[in-house]
Each structure stands twice: as structure tokens, then as C-alpha cells.
Amino acid sequence: MGFGKKLTKTVRVADWMTEGVLAVETFDSIAIARQLMAARQ
């Protein structure tokens, strides 16, 4: 390997994505979003 080059592993976005997307409304509180995420873990 040349100086300053790193060996990196390719990570695809699809490897981290899930099909079911959670969403809240813009007027919902952080508490509502937190409860929704906790219920789906």
C-alpha cells in the first residue's frame, strides 16, 4: 500500500436501511417520537 492510503470496506446504504419507515408530524413533540421509536425496537 502507498503512503497515506487506507484499506476500507465498502458499506452499502441498503445494508443499514429498513423497509418500515417511522414518521411523526412536524407539530409532534420529541416525547411522541421517542415513544414511537421505543415501541418499535
Per-residue pLDDT at 20:
82
pTM (two decimals): 0.49
Burial 13-32 (b: 16+ CB within 10 A, else e): eeeeeeeeeeeeeeeeeeee
Does residue 35 register a pLDDT over 90? Answer: yes
Segment holding 38, helix H or strand E: helix 30-39
Domain residues for the domain of 21 are 1-41
- What total number of domains does the chain contain? 1
Which residue, chain included where needed, has cell 429498513?
A: 18
Per-residue pLDDT at 36:
92
Does residue 37 register a pLDDT over 70? Answer: yes
pLDDT digits (tens, 9 = 90+) for 1-29: 556 667 778 888 888 887 888 899 999 99
Q: Are 18 and 41 in contact (CB under 8 A)?
A: no
Per-residue pLDDT at 25:
96
